[in-house]
Amino acid sequence: MEQFRNIGLIGRLGSGRVVDTLKRLRRFLVDSGHSVILEDSVADLLPGHQLQVCSRKMMGEICDLVIVVGGDGSLLGAARALCRYNVPVLGVNRGGLGFLTDISPDELESRVGEVLAGQYLVENRFLLDAFVRRGDEQLGTSEALNDVVLHPGKSARMIEFELYVDGQIVYSQKSDGLIVATPTGSTAYALSAGGPIMHPKLDAVVLVPMFPHTLSSRPIVVDGNSELKIIISKQSGIYPQVSCDGQVHIACAPGDSITIRKKPQKLRLLHPLDHNFYAICRSKLGWSSRLTE
Q: What is the pLDDT of residues 180-236, one digit of tens each?
A: 999 999 999 999 999 999 999 999 999 999 999 888 899 999 999 999 999 999 998
Could you tell me the residue ranges of all domains in the chain? 6-120+272-285, 127-264
pLDDT at 5 over 90: yes
Q: What pLDDT does residue 33 have?
A: 94
CB contact set of 249 (below 8 Å; sequence gap of 6+): 241, 242, 243
Residue 1 has what pLDDT? 61
pLDDT digits (tens, 9 = 90+) for 147-185: 999 999 988 889 999 999 999 999 999 999 999 999 999
Identify whether the C-beta of residue 66 lies closer than 8 Å to the C-beta of residue 86.
Answer: no
How are beta strands 6-11 and 35-39 bridged, if at all?
parallel
Write down the catalytic residue from 40, 44, 72, 274: 72
The residue-averaged pLDDT of 8-22 equals 90
- Write out the E strands in the chain: 6-11, 35-39, 52-54, 65-70, 89-93, 121-134, 137-144, 147-151, 159-165, 168-175, 177-181, 204-210, 220-223, 228-232, 241-244, 248-251, 257-271
For 45-100, how does the pLDDT look when each residue is reduced to its tens digit (9 = 90+)?
888 888 999 999 899 999 999 999 999 999 999 999 999 999 999 999 987 778 89
pLDDT of residue 47: 84
Instruction: Return d(Cα 199, Cα 182) in angstroms, integer.
Output: 10
* Average pLDDT score over residue span 105-109: 94
Q: Catalytic site residue 44? A: no
The answer to whether 188 is annotated as binding is yes
DSSP SS3 for 209: strand
Q: Name the DSSP class of 195.
A: P
pTM over 0.85: yes
Whole-number Å distance between alpha carbons of 157 and 232: 14
Backbone angles phi, psi at 219, to 5 degrees: -60, 145
Does the structure show a pLDDT above 60 at 143? yes
**Does 187 appear as a known binding residue?**
yes
Q: Which H or E run contains 98?
A: none
In this prediction, residue 9 carries a pLDDT of: 96
192 is in an annotated binding site: yes
CATH 2.40.50.140 assigned to 127-264? no
The candidate with the shortest Cα–Cα distance to 94, out of 45, 60, 57, 134, is: 45
Whether the per-residue pLDDT at 279 is higher than 80: the answer is: yes
* 176 marked as part of a ligand binding site: yes
Is pLDDT above 60 for 293? no
pLDDT number for residue 102: 86
The reply, when asked if residue 181 is annotated as ligand binding, is no
Give the right CATH number for 6-120+272-285 from 3.30.450.150, 3.30.70.260, 3.40.50.10330, 3.30.360.10: 3.40.50.10330
Residue 291's pLDDT band (cuts 50, 70, 90):
low
